Each structure stands twice: as structure tokens, then as C-alpha cells.
């Protein structure tokens, strides 16, 4: 990793320090400051980690300027077009595209792990019926460590493998049951003869009174949504999983932490927030008013589904998602969907506006995904749980990579302390 001939020079308080520089296989060079505090007695300051690499990784690469997303080197548009979610899961977890027999075995393993411990149903019943499905998911996934004791020892590679398979396999059941519980319908058990996406759709929409026929075009669209969200290198929820796991916490607790982080509207919660925004805008003629609000520094309103920390040109996932939205609405015969019309006009008007061009703000993956999910029959509250189930493989892959890394140590950021210095306690009557 290190190029021995590359160094950076830093002068602090009149002293000069040579810092090693590492060159990645793609992306900018990285200045290694690990010994800086020991040698120079100073910290670096980078709230929001805008310039800090927190780990090395071989899983996913994003080039924000080019609008490129690679999983193990393969471009996301090729994976979304030619592959399918479980093959992408294999690729993320094991580093290479599988041979046919390996894929078959992996699919069988995942399929055989989709059922939940029967007693988990009672756990669901402890939630209020109107609980947000994300609240249920955080709780249920955290509770898996109380149900699957035989896969919580992170020092055992076999247990780590079983935990990975369980998480990927059970997440659709967990999300579908959160939905069923929320809507007051009975839980639907998984079926081994269905593929991953079809199984999820059936567990969400089938009821005892009427079987749900899975439309192959919808299940393909669902699978593509899973694929497009599968991993995104060191984003907030993935970094949360890594930080939680750096203490040696069990995998279920770590993934529950990732789900909690994903929920926020600046991250995975943006898909729900985006659809609610399109609904609020309501018609194309109201778009200029909302664009002005997004530009107003005194108004907290932001265009949801717009902007990204890394992509500064376009989000390659958004392109595929937009195409999928057209296909799904066409298939369902939903012509003139008002939200799709507002979304397309909003995208056009915002991209023509100098504010968005100067700040390099483009539609992200969440801009069109909500339109597809709503057309499929999902309420907005299910959008982020679907993101969480898709991202589970990314979290798990990054977690596995981290645990196997001999350099792994507890994450412990420093701070720039601006509070009071030492002062003596004052008795309450003298304050």
C-alpha cells in the first residue's frame, strides 16, 4: 500500500515532520497521520470526515467527479443490467463473481435461512401497531443476538459466516413482518421456491384470504432496487457499523446500529422525505416556489433526493432508477403519474438553476426510488426499511472485512475541546 518514496511534509510549531503517503489502486493519495500525535503532539480536525479515510477497503469504489460506482471493480450499471441481487451479494462478500455451482450453493444457503425464530413473533407484538417499520427493524435486528447465540462469537470465522448469511436471508422477512405488523395483517412465512425479491414482495402483499401473484417485471424492478442500494463504501451507516464493531460488539448489534443511522433524512430516510416533498409540491406550477425555498439560507428546506457528499457530477444509481421508474409505471399502466411528472420537471428546473449547478447538486438514488416503490404498493414508511434490507449485504461485507483486518483497532476519534478548563465545584447555596 505504501509508496516508500512518497511523503508529505508538515510544519507545526516550527518543527517539520515527514508523513508517509499511501497510494490506492484508484482515488486520491492518502496522508498517513497515525503517528502524528505521538511525534508532534497535535491532532487533525475534520468534522464530518470530509477529508479523512477511516480504513482501507477492497469492496466498493466511488469516483464522485466521474459519477462512477464500482463493486469489486464492476460498474453498477452493468451489475444492475446484467446481474441480480444475490450474485451481487456474493461478489461483495467474497470479492469475485461466482462460478455457477458456487452461486447455486449460495442461493440455497440464503434461501434456507429466511425463516425467523418462531418466538420472534412475540417480540414483534411488544411494539405499538402504529410503530414506524424502521423502529421495529432496529429493535428486531438488535434482538437477533438474543435468538441466535451460536453466531455471535466474532473470533470464530464460521460463526461470522453464519451470521452474515442469517442477516442477508432474514432481513426481507424482518422488513416484511414489520410492514405486516404495522398494517395489522398476519405475518406471511417465506417460501423456498421463490427468488429473493419475489419472496419479499409476497411476504409483504399476500394475505391468507388471497394469494399474491408475483409479477416477474415487478420482482425484477424490486431486485434492481436491492442491487442499486447494496453498498456505498464508507457512508454514515456503514461507518456506524464499523465503529460499533470496532469494540468487538456482536454482528446483530452492529447492523442494528447501522439501521438506526440509516433512518435519518440526510441518509436513507431521504427516499421517504423525497416522496413526501413531491406530494407537498403537488403540481408542476409550484416547483419554482420550492426551488426558491431550497436556495434560501434562512429556510431549512432542502430538495430531498438532491445532492451527495461524494457525487459531484451525477449519481449513476439515479440514472438506472429513473429508467426503472418509467418501466414500472408503464407496466402498471399508470400514465400521467403526478409525482413522476413533478419529479421530472423539478429535476429539469433545478439542473438549469445556477445555484444547483454551482454547488454540484444532482438527483441521487433516492429521487426516483420512492415513485417506483409507491407504484408497487408500498407506503412511504416502508421505503427506508427496503433501503436497510438492501444495504445489509454492504454492512455485512464491510464488517467481515474489518474483523479479518489485523490492523483493526477500536475507533476512538479525538476532539477540539472548547469547554471550560479546570474549575472548583461550588456548593449549591453559593452559585
Write the CB contacts of 234 (distance below 8 Å, at least 6 apart in sequence). Answer: 49, 53, 54, 55, 57, 242, 398
Helix (H, G, I), strand (E, B) or coil at 324: helix
Q: Are 252 and 139 in contact (CB under 8 A)?
A: no
Nearest alpha carbon to residue 397 among 292, 255, 291: 255
Nearest residue to the partner ligand CMC, using Cβ: 307
Q: Which is nearer to ligand CMC, 203 or 318 (CB)?
A: 318
Question: Which member of 67, 98, 251, 305 binds ligand CMC (CB under 6 A)?
Answer: 305
- Binding residues among 146-165 for ligand CMC as defined by CB under 6 A: none
Binding window for ligand CMC (CB under 6 A); candidates: 33-41, 160-168, 174-182, 306-314: 306-314
The reply on whether position 228 binds ligand CMC by CB under 6 A is no
Residue 318 DSSP symbol? H
Q: Pick from 361, 371, 372, 402: which binds ligand CMC (CB under 6 A)? A: 361
**Interface positions, 275-304, toward ligand CMC (CB under 6 A):** 294, 302-304
Q: Which of 223, 231, 315, 366 is catalytic?
A: 366
Structural element, H or E, at residue 69: strand 68-71
Q: How far is the CB of 348 from ligand CMC (least distance, A)?
A: 16
Contact status: 365 vs ligand CMC (CB under 6 A):
yes
Is 308 noted as a catalytic residue in this protein? yes
Selected binder of ligand CMC within 20, 94, 185, 309 (CB under 6 A): 309
Burial class (CB in 10 A: 0-12, 13-18, 19+), 307: buried
Grid coordinates given for 77:
450499471
Q: Are 154 and 251 in contact, with CB atoms under 8 Å apart?
A: yes
- The answer to whether 96 touches 72, Cβ cutoff 8 Å, is yes
Place of cell 417460501: 191
Whether 366 is catalytic is: yes
| Region near ligand CMC per CB under 6 A, out of 38-46, 215-223, 364-372, 378-386 | 364-372
Q: Which residue among 165, 232, 308, 315 is the active-site one?
A: 308
Task: Give SS3 for 180.
Answer: helix
Site for ligand CMC contains 260 (CB under 6 A): no
The correct pick among 267, 319, 322, 400 for binding ligand CMC (CB under 6 A) is: 267
Report yes or no: 56 and 66 within 8 Å, Cβ to Cβ.
Answer: no
Residues in contact with ligand CMC by the rule CB under 6 A: 235, 266-268, 270, 294, 302-309, 359, 361, 364-366
Residues with a known catalytic role: 308, 366
Amino acid at each position: 500500500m505504501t509508496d516508500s518514496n512518497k511523503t508529505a511534509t508538515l510544519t507545526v510549531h516550527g518543527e517539520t515532520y515527514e508523513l508517509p503517503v499511501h497510494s490506492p489502486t484508484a482515488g486520491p493519495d492518502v496522508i498517513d497521520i497515525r503517528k502524528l500525535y505521538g511525534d508532534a503532539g497535535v491532532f487533525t480536525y475534520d468534522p464530518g470526515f470530509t477529508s479523512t479515510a477511516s480504513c482501507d477497503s477492497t469492496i466498493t469504489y466511488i469516483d464522485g467527479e466521474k459519477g462512477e460506482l464500482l463493486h469489486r471493480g464492476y460498474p453498477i450499471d452493468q451489475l444492475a443490467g446484467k446481474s441480480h441481487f444475490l450474485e451481487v451479494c456474493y461478489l461483495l462478500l467474497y470479492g469475485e463473481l461466482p462460478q455457477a455451482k458456487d452461486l447455486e450453493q449460495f442461493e440455497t444457503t440464503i434461501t434456507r435461512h429466511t425463516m425467523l425464530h418462531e418466538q420472534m413473533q412475540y417480540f414483534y407484538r411488544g411494539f405499538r401497531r402504529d410503530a414506524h417499520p424502521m423502529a421495529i427493524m432496529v429493535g428486531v435486528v438488535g434482538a437477533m443476538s438474543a435468538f441466535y447465540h451460536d453466531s455471535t462469537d466474532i473470533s470464530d470465522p464460521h460463526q461470522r459466516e453464519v451470521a452474515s448469511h442469517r442477516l442477508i436471508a432474514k432481513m426481507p422477512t424482518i422488513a416484511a413482518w414489520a410492514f405486516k405488523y404495522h398494517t395489522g395483517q398476519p405475518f406471511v412465512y417465506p417460501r423456498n421456491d421463490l427468488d429473493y425479491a419475489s419472496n419479499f414482495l409476497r411476504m409483504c402483499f399476500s394475505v391468507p384470504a388471497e394469494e399474491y401473484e408475483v409479477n416477474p417485471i415487478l420482482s425484477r424492478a424490486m431486485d434492481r432496487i436491492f442491487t442499486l442500494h447494496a453498498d456505498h463504501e464508507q457512508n454514515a451507516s456503514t461507518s456506524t457499523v464499523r465503529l460499533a464493531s470496532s469494540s468487538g460488539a456482536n454482528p446483530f448489534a452492529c447492523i442494528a446500529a447501522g439501521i438506526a443511522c440509516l433512518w435519518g433524512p440526510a441518509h436513507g430516510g431521504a427516499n421517504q422525505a423525497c416522496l413526501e416533498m413531491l406530494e407537498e409540491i403537488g403540481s408542476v406550477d409550484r416547483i419554482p416556489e420550492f426551488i426558491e425555498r431550497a436556495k434560501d439560507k434562512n429556510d431549512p428546506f432542502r430538495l430531498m433526493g438532491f445532492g451527495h457528499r461524494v457525487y459531484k457530477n451525477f449519481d449513476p444509481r439515479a440514472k438506472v432508477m429513473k429508467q426503472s421508474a418509467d418501466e414500472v409505471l408503464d407496466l402498471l399502466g399508470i400514465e400521467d403519474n403526478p409525482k413522476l411528472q413533478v419529479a421530472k420537471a423539478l429535476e429539469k428546473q433545478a439542473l438549469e438553476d445556477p445555484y444547483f449547478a454551482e454547488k454540484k447538486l444532482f438527483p441521487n438514488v433516492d429521487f426516483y426510488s420512492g415513485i417506483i416503490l409507491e407504484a408497487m404498493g408500498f407506503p412511504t414508511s416502508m421505503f427506508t426499511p427496503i433501503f436497510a434490507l438492501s444495504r445489509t449485504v454492504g454492512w455485512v461485507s464491510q464488517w467481515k472485512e474489518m474483523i479479518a483486518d489485523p490492523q483493526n483497532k477500536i475507533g476512538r476519534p479525538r476532539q477540539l475541546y472548547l469547554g471550560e478548563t479546570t474549575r472548583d465545584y461550588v456548593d449549591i447555596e453559593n452559585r
